[in-house]
């Protein structure tokens, strides 16, 4: 059974991806159409060192042989050796090693939603969260009415409310303030937070009389917010997030590059995230923001003309996770949403992960094809068994004994699971372990 094509056996498929050779049934080459492989999304699973990254690299190389469109989210930079003329590389921040010709890009803070900021800044206690939300609203208003608020933030302490009230009722401003995508100048958050800690009304003339047209003095709550402003300053200045808050050499944004990739001749766009650190959940939040951009493009119909596959290695970092403090945790759900609704927009996803149990069942059950490398952990194997109802115990029993680069191909379109030896890619991922023999 060398070729696995669409369900229409009479039609000769032009585009076939050669994965390797079958080991269960003679040494046949195994060729699969992208419809079968990616059409209902694909997951590459297996314990560390099993061969997921090599398989991913092989799949990418096979896609590159055709006039394909593939976006690769490279969390660790291990795919930087892909030197195909049809591959474009971009990187965030300043990775230690970049591919030749890779261009620096940045992710403007406008691409973050309110929940991303709440996850990064982790407000805690009863005061910080509400004040942070208030400050974000105020900064949105300041950005909408730059002439009224020339400092970029809204001064409240002891100020008259008239111009604020006028700005609030102008146009559709009031509705925009609660839109989590409405941009604001995040760098002014510490200043604005201080201004939010005021008494709502000033003293009027005479004892006990209030003046509702002015804000009062500082309410003393700011002392509870000082740890928050310290954290905000740390996040804004953190090297892990310099690709977001510090534009440096980048001339274009990730979104611009993805858009020009879609309309240009390149077949693969590799987005290198290796310089985005793990501090403050930066890498997770950044990857999720990029996923959200891709989903936004999908919803606007950008992939109808040419079906596109988004590859995400180390996907357990980016899927089904909640980051931030309990009260204001952000759910990293962009890739989950791509898995759930991308197909109908022409966007498919290929995930590679060493921890299937970390991926929600909702996502795993969306995966039409599984390429399963060696899996030793019982719970991971159970997850795989559950995800593909028809796999019988006997097929999962030998998952722990698969060799490096050997995998079981399981899917709704395959009558029985097939064991294959994946052919090594030409450009090997930089994923070797330490070279003890030569280095010690
Ligand atoms: N198809 C293959 N043919 C030959 N050797 C392979 C193959 N796939 C993997 N290997 C060997 O296994 C090693 C580990 O593979 P790989 O980096 O793909 O693992 P991984 O599953 O991605 O691990 P991790 O979860 O740690 O990222 C490779 O360095 C290579 O030596
Ligand atoms: Mg890997």
Q: Which atom of ligand 1 is nearest to the CA of 354?
A: 25
DSSP 8-state code for residue 409: E
Q: At which residue do the structure tokens 């996502």 appear?
A: 363
Q: Closest Cα to atom 27, ligand 1: which residue?
A: 48
Distance in angstroms (rounded) separating the CA atoms of residues 266 and 69? 8
Ligand closest to 428 (CA) is 1
DSSP 8-state code for residue 307: -
Q: Which atom of ligand 1 is nearest to the CA of 373?
A: 21
Contact yes or no for 419/406 (Cβ under 8 A): yes
For 264-354, where are the alpha helices, taking DSSP H only? 282-299, 334-341
Ligand 1 pocket: which of 19, 53, 274 to mutate (most atoms within 8 A of CB): 53
- From the list 311, 428, 295, 230, the residue with the least C-alpha distance to 37 is 311
Helix and strand numbers (H, E) in the chain are 16, 18
Q: Closest Cα to atom 5, ligand 1: which residue?
A: 405
| Dist. CA 423 → ligand 2 center (Å) | 16
Q: Is 42 helix (H, G, I), strand (E, B) or coil?
A: strand
- From the list 38, 24, 101, 122, the residue with the least C-alpha distance to 412 is 38
pLDDT of residue 393: 63
Question: How do strand 202-203 and strand 268-272 relate by DSSP bridges?
Answer: unpaired
Q: Closest Cα to atom 1, ligand 1: which residue?
A: 405
Distance in angstroms (rounded) separating the CA atoms of residues 287 and 342? 17
**400: number of Cβ within 10 Å:** 13
Distance in angstroms (rounded) separating the CA atoms of residues 437 and 440? 6
| Strands (DSSP E) found in 183-292 | 202-203, 210-211, 252-253, 268-272
| Dist. CA 47 → ligand 2 center (Å) | 9
Specify the domain boundaries for CATH 3.40.50.300 within the chain.
40-93+250-415+425-439
Q: At which residue do the structure tokens 């950008």 appear?
A: 302
Classify domain 40-93+250-415+425-439 by CATH architecture.
Answer: 3-Layer(aba) Sandwich (3.40)
The pair of structure tokens assigned to 385 is 């068994």
Distance in angstroms (rounded) separating the CA atoms of residues 271 and 79? 10
Q: Is 371 helix (H, G, I), strand (E, B) or coil?
A: strand
**179: number of Cβ within 10 Å:** 12
Q: Which atom of ligand 1 is nearest to the CA of 431?
A: 17
Q: Is 370 helix (H, G, I), strand (E, B) or coil?
A: strand
Distance in angstroms (rounded) separating the CA atoms of residues 119 and 250? 25
Q: Which atom of ligand 1 is nearest to the CA of 57?
A: 18
| Dist. CA 411 → ligand 1 center (Å) | 22
Percent helix, strand, coil in the chain (nearest 5)?
Answer: 40, 20, 45
Q: At which residue do the structure tokens 């050997």 appear?
A: 406
Distance in angstroms (rounded) separating the CA atoms of residues 308 and 57? 16
Q: Which atom of ligand 1 is nearest to the CA of 433?
A: 29
| Dist. CA 401 → ligand 2 center (Å) | 19
pLDDT of residue 6: 45
- From the list 91, 110, 107, the residue with the least C-alpha distance to 99 is 91
| Dist. CA 261 → ligand 1 center (Å) | 29
Around ligand 1, the residues with Cβ closer than 6 Å are: 46, 48-54, 354, 373, 404-405, 422, 424, 429, 431-432
| Dist. CA 168 → ligand 2 center (Å) | 51
The pair of structure tokens assigned to 431 is 């994923």
pLDDT in tens, the chain (440 residues): 455 554 555 567 889 999 999 887 677 899 999 999 999 999 999 999 899 999 999 999 999 999 999 999 999 999 999 999 999 999 998 888 888 889 999 888 888 888 888 888 988 878 898 999 899 999 999 999 999 999 999 999 999 999 999 999 988 888 888 887 788 899 999 999 999 999 999 988 888 888 999 999 999 999 999 999 999 999 988 888 888 877 777 788 899 999 999 999 999 999 999 988 888 888 889 999 999 999 999 999 999 889 999 999 999 888 877 877 777 777 888 999 999 999 999 999 999 999 888 888 788 888 889 999 999 888 888 888 776 665 566 667 777 788 889 999 888 777 778 889 999 999 999 876 677 888 88
Contact yes or no for 231/124 (Cβ under 8 A): no
Q: Closest Cα to atom 14, ligand 1: which residue?
A: 49
Whole-model pTM: value is 0.88
| Dist. CA 228 → ligand 2 center (Å) | 36
Contact yes or no for 316/354 (Cβ under 8 A): yes
Ligand 1 pocket: which of 23, 29, 57, 431 to mutate (most atoms within 8 A of CB): 431
Ligand closest to 355 (CA) is 1
């Amino acid at each position: 059974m060398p070729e696995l094509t669409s369900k229409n056996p009479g039609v000769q498929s032009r585009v076939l991806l050669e994965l390797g050779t079958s080991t269960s049934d003679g040494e046949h080459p195994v060729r699969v159409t992208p419809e079968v492989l990616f059409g209902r999304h694909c997951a590459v699973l297996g314990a560390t060192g099993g061969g997921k990254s090599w398989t991913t690299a092989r799949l990418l190389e096979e896609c590159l042989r055709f006039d394909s469109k593939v976006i690769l989210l490279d969390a660790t930079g291990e795919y930087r050796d892909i030197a195909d003329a049809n591959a474009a590389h971009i990187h965030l921040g300043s990775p230690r090693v970049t591919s030749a010709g890779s261009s620096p890009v940045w992710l403007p803070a406008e691409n973050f939603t309110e929940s991303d900021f709440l996850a990064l800044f982790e407000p805690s206690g009863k005061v910080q969260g509400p004040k942070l939300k208030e400050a974000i609203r105020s900064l949105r208003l300041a950005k909408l009415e730059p002439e009224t608020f020339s400092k970029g933030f809204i001064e409240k302490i002891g100020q008259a409310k008239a111009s604020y009230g006028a700005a609030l009722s102008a146009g559709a401003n009031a509705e925009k303030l609660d839109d989590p995508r409405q941009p604001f100048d995040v760098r002014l958050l510490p200043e604005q937070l201080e201004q939010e800690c005021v008494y709502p009304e000033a003293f009027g003339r005479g004892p006990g009389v209030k003046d509702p047209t002015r804000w009062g003095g500082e309410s003393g709550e700011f002392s509870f917010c000082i740890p928050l402003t310290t954290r905000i300053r740390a996040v804004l200045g953190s090297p892990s997030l310099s690709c977001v808050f510090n534009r440096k050499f980048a001339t274009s944004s990730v979104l611009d590059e993805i858009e020009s990739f879609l309309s240009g001749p390149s077949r693969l766009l590799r987005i290198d995230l290796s310089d985005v650190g793990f501090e403050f959940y930066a890498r997770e939040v950044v990857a999720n923001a990029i996923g959200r951009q891709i989903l936004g493009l999908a919803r606007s119909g950008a992939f109808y003309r040419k079906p596109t596959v988004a590859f995400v290695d180390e996907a357990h970092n980016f899927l089904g996770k909640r980051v931030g403090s309990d009260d204001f945790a952000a759910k990293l759900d962009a890739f989950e949403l791509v898995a759930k609704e991308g197909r109908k927009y022409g966007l498919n996803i290929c995930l590679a992960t060493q921890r299937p149990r970390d991926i929600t069942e909702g996502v795993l059950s969306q995966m039409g094809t599984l390429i399963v490398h060696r899996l030793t952990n019982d719970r991971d194997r159970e997850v795989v068994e559950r995800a593909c109802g028809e796999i019988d115990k006997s097929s999962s029993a030998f998952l722990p004994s698969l060799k490096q680069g050997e995998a079981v191909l399981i899917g709704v379109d395959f009558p029985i699971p097939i064991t294959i030896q994946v052919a090594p890619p030409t450009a090997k991922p930089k994923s070797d372990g330490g070279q003890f023999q030569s280095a010690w």
